[in-house]
Amino acid sequence: MSVLIASNLRKELSGDPLFDGVSFSVDRGQRLALAGQNGAGKTTLLRAIIGETTIQGGEIALQKGARIALHDQRPPRDRGLTLREYSISGATALVRIEEDLRELEQAMAAGTHDSATLRRYSEAQERLEHAGGWGWRDRASSMLRGLGFRDADLDRQLSTFSGGELTRASLARAMAGDPDLLLLDEPTNHLDVESLEWLERELTTIDAAVILVAHDRWFLESVTTAVLELEGGRGLYFSGPWHQWRIERATRAQAAAKSVKRTGADIERLERFVERFRYKKSKAKQAQAKITQIGRLEQERKKAAGELENLTRRRRNLGFEFLKPARSGRIVIEIEGLRLSAGGKELIEGGSLVIEREEHVALVGPNGSGKTTLLETLVGHRQPDAGKIRFGHGVEPAYFSQHEVELDERGTVLDCAVAMTGLARPQAQNLLGKFLFSGYSEQEKQVSVLSGGERRRLSLAVIVASGANLLVLDEPTNHLDLESREALEVALEAFPGAVLLVSHDRALLDAVAERTVAIEGHALRSYDGGWADLLQAREEGEAASPVAAAPQPKEPKAAKPAATKKGPSELEQVERRITTLETKIEQLETKLAEDWTNMDTLTEYRTSRDELQELLARWEALFESA
């Protein structure tokens, strides 16, 4: 039975339709993801369902007695509560059920045993058992622990927590009340990987209907059972997981493009007939029929073109395109015997790490394990307790922290971009346009008044234009929508320098990392591959290398005796192949910049890039032995 049925919903903003004709239903156990560009109405739809905003048309029907809980990014209104009190403050219905059960028990003890009383008691008891019985408060506390809070936090006042911690508390509160319909707006924000995995397990087992909005692709793939696509003011429902919806959407775009092309060709053919025969009496009737047919085809083409535009519309996304950096020495970073601590807590003891030129490495570990501290130490923002850190020859690092680059706040956005990148004003203006600072008003805005999201975009622009050959990135996807995250992913994959990346976006980690370094037991341990490879290695109990060194280069094969027939040496052959591959990769990068959703091009690019890496290693071995 459906917990919610929405029929022909219409929402207007200032008299203009935000969406219209949106219909869908959600059953218990179903997890519906809302998809669509920023401003399509996803959050508005959630608030319309819970009654916080009105709709101008249609109907929202809820199952009788259904309880709804909403989690969004707004901070708690009442800061005078403890964390424990706040987490159960959304469960007033469960408190009433407990009170009803006590009253009914007293009535039955006094001799009241009519069918209505017994039925009410049975229904109340069943509802309480569904929430975990009389121990539902303990379950609420366990949810707080699952989201990263400690027992010592439970009796702290809300006013003592950070904004990110309050967001996690709001999520625990929404889930603790045993809702029939759970509405989640960006539930993955401020969660580390362990908390994300806990939330995924909870949502896949919860006995409720769930509607969610998220930008974390791994999370969406893990929990989604259906998708409601809000695009062009209308809604399209798809039953199936996230990846199948994306395949189906690409198929629709392809079909619409073919329809536009085919219909256009038919129209051109008919127009040629009309042009040739419309003034000949013997063909005039046929020509008129063709004109009528052209009118129908024009309507079909217009409809198909509209569908294609909705499916392939270029959204106002960030324009990532890292500059090609100068070539560094083979070793980029080398760490020996590193010891780090913070606030009296030991983070890393005896850590070793080597990163080579062009290697892409992910750094993972639970919140508080020392990831950010390690990055800050590597770039010189803090000193280690012990150990050595050495950069290789010609290494030019660029650091992007969770709190953005330290920006020059003495002037405008354009002044800052010019000063921090060294670009001429026209080039700086072009760069800023790619990062959504378009036009005079946005580029002449004072840096000191920028919002958090605007500051992050400006910081990214500075990093992109830095020309660094070592990128040290701490949570670069914060405040980025799904499409911009994927654009960053493609750019980082194509970046020819070294990358050290910290992120909670597991899809980004899996795509970009060639090696994963985990902080485990105060040590740095190395695993080959990205996030999925790390999970597999841990499941199989595979031992990781305690010294997180770069993979050792393969020994070059012994050179074969020279043949009597003259020809290009192996070194020359490898050089020619490298030149061919570099040209091919540049062409593929151009295609990806135009359409980074083309999976065939992306696969061909990855294969070519991997082959190039092998050839470069072979060339270096041959060159050194020559």
Positive or negative, the Cα torsion across 149, 154, 156, 162? Answer: positive
Under the banding of pLDDT at 50, 70 and 90, the label for residue 623 is low
Residue with the bigger pLDDT between 48 and 560: it is 48
pLDDT higher than 90, residue 181: yes
Closest by alpha carbon to 253, among 295, 328, 301, 304?
304
Closest by alpha carbon to 516, among 494, 538, 495?
538
CA 340 to chain centre: 30
Distance between CA atoms of residues 231 and 19, nearest Å: 8
Is residue 213 classed as helix, strand or coil in its secondary structure? strand
Closest by alpha carbon to 362, among 156, 507, 181?
507
pLDDT higher than 80, residue 359: yes
Instruction: Give the pLDDT confidence of 384-443 residue by residue, as tens digits.
Output: 999 999 999 999 999 988 766 678 788 899 999 998 888 899 989 988 888 878 888 889
Under the banding of pLDDT at 50, 70 and 90, the label for residue 564 is very low
Both tokens assigned to 486: 């994927």
Ordered DSSP codes for 111-143:
T---HHHHHHHHHHHHHHHHTTGGGHHHHHHHH
Instruction: Give the pLDDT confidence of 446-460 residue by residue, as tens digits.
Output: 988 887 668 878 888
Residue 367 has φ and ψ, to the nearest 5°, of -55, 135
Distance between CA atoms of residues 50 and 215, nearest Å: 22
Mean pLDDT of 230-250: 86
Is there a contact between 414 and 443 (Cβ–Cβ < 8 Å)? yes
Distance between CA atoms of residues 404 and 593, nearest Å: 25
Residue 139 CB-density burial (10 A; 0-12 exposed, 13-18 middle, 19+ buried): middle
Rg (the chain; Cα; Å): 30
Residue 68 has φ and ψ, to the nearest 5°, of -115, 140
Residue 186 has φ and ψ, to the nearest 5°, of 55, 60
pLDDT higher than 80, residue 87: yes
Mean pLDDT of 199-226: 92
pLDDT at 354: 94
pLDDT higher than 70, residue 566: no
Closest by alpha carbon to 204, among 239, 212, 34?
212
Q: Which of 166-180, 300-314, 401-415, 501-515 ranks highest by mean pLDDT?
A: 501-515
3-state secondary structure labels for all residues of 459-488? HHHHHHCCCCCEEEEECCCCCCCHHHHHHH
Mean pLDDT lowest among 312-316, 433-437, 469-473, 595-599? 312-316
pLDDT higher than 60, residue 489: yes
Distance between CA atoms of residues 154 and 371, nearest Å: 26
The region, left, alpha or beta by phi > 0 then psi within -120 to 50, assigned to residue 585 is alpha
pLDDT at 111: 78
Residue 520 has φ and ψ, to the nearest 5°, of -130, 125
Number of H helices, E strands in the chain: 20, 18
Positive or negative, the Cα torsion across 522, 528, 533, 538? Answer: negative
Is residue 224 classed as helix, strand or coil in its secondary structure? coil
- Give percent above pLDDT 90 in the chain: 27
User: Identity (one letter) of the amino acid at 77?
Assistant: R
Q: Which residues contact 499 (CB under 8 A, 6 or more apart)?
A: 359, 360, 361, 470, 471, 473, 492, 512
Distance between CA atoms of residues 168 and 259, nearest Å: 47
Both tokens assigned to 149: 């809070």
Distance between CA atoms of residues 317 and 414, nearest Å: 19
Both tokens assigned to 101: 């059960």
pLDDT higher than 50, residue 75: yes
pLDDT higher than 60, residue 597: yes
Mean pLDDT of 545-564: 49
Under the banding of pLDDT at 50, 70 and 90, the label for residue 550 is low
pLDDT at 337: 92
Mean pLDDT of 559-567: 48
Distance between CA atoms of residues 433 and 456, nearest Å: 14
pLDDT at 299: 82
Q: Which of 46-50, 120-124, 405-409 ranks highest by mean pLDDT?
A: 46-50
Both tokens assigned to 280: 């000949």
Under the banding of pLDDT at 50, 70 and 90, the label for residue 558 is very low
Q: Which residues contact 551 (CB under 8 A, 6 or more apart)?
A: 515, 528
Under the banding of pLDDT at 50, 70 and 90, the label for residue 200 is very high
Q: Of how many residues is the chain composed?
A: 626
Is there a contact between 206 and 118 (Cβ–Cβ < 8 Å)? no
Mean pLDDT of 367-389: 90
pLDDT at 391: 93
Under the banding of pLDDT at 50, 70 and 90, the label for residue 557 is very low
Is there a contact between 356 and 288 (Cβ–Cβ < 8 Å)? no
Beta bridge partner(s), residue 472: 399, 500
Instruction: Give the pLDDT confidence of 501-533 residue by residue, as tens digits.
Output: 999 899 999 999 999 999 998 999 999 999 988
Q: At what angle do helices 482-494 and 599-625 cross, to 10 degrees?
A: 20
> If you average pLDDT over every residue of the chain, what do you get?
82
Closest by alpha carbon to 144, among 186, 202, 96?
202
Both tokens assigned to 439: 């036009």
Q: Which of 169-178, 292-301, 582-591 ranks highest by mean pLDDT?
A: 169-178
Distance between CA atoms of residues 526 and 364, nearest Å: 10
Residue with the bigger pLDDT between 603 and 310: it is 603
Is residue 282 classed as helix, strand or coil in its secondary structure? helix
Distance between CA atoms of residues 624 and 430, nearest Å: 42
36-55 in b/e burial notation, b at 16+ Cβ within 10 A? Answer: bbeebbbbbbbbbbeeeeeb
pTM (whole model) above 0.85: no
Among all chains, which residue has been given the structure tokens 């908390």?
195
pLDDT higher than 50, residue 93: yes
For the sheet containing 331-342, what is the strand order?
A: 345-356, 331-342, 386-391
Q: Where are the beta strands (DSSP E) in 452-560?
A: 470-474, 498-502, 515-520, 523-528
